[in-house]
Structure 1
Amino acid sequence: MDKKGAKGYWISTSTVTNPALFAEYVEKVGPWLKEVGGVVFAKDTEPQGKEKTEGANLAVICEFPSMRAAVDAYESAEYQELSKIRNAATENATFTIMEGMDEAAKLRRAMGK
């Protein structure tokens, strides 16, 4: 974990079933995300769900400075409280934390290797 230069990512899909409650989650999670060094990298309200995510009406990728930062943010007491709102406002949610490519892998890719 935490390869040099590798970022950490949260990848989530869900079906928002309570838009008002989900808006409350977004209002609270946005400022908190900035505090922990995360940013919304991509968001789609019309994702093309495949393999058990067909009904999703939201897909989000959040980027963190490192895998450790992504895991720590998710496991924090603050996010665990916020996630209760997200879970109450959605169904069929998926949530994955993954590590991006490290600097060496990016360089090899750029060089065509």
Structure 2
Amino acid sequence: MVNLYGQHYPNPVEEIQEEIETVELDFLSEDLPKLMASMKVGTDRICAIVSSMRNFSRLDKDGMSVASIHEGIDSTLLILQHRLKANGKLPGIELIKDYEDLPLVECYAAIRFT
């Protein structure tokens, strides 16, 4: 929108030019798409973690139900993902998942993976 305005009015009045310089419009126009993409990635990650925590805790289920061992492991790993990364004291842990086909198991959902 700002670029379109600049094309139609290439010589803005001094007040508008000062505002453009004050808000560092060139930087914002380059950085904003990156910032929005980063926010989208962060939001997607938060959604995945919340879903995994709900799946892991199974507070929404009572009694016996069928469950996937793979989903339980994946939920646990997603919650612990930050612990697998390298930090100043410890090297990172590379995890290779090689799942076999397993049937669903019947269990008490609220206590199955604790």
With normalisation by structure 2, the TM-score equals 0.23
Q: Which has the higher contact order (CA 8 A, sep 6+)?
A: 1
**Structure having the larger proportion of residues in helix:** 2
**Structure having the larger proportion of residues in strand:** 1
With normalisation by structure 1, the TM-score equals 0.23
Structure with the greater alpha carbon radius of gyration: 2
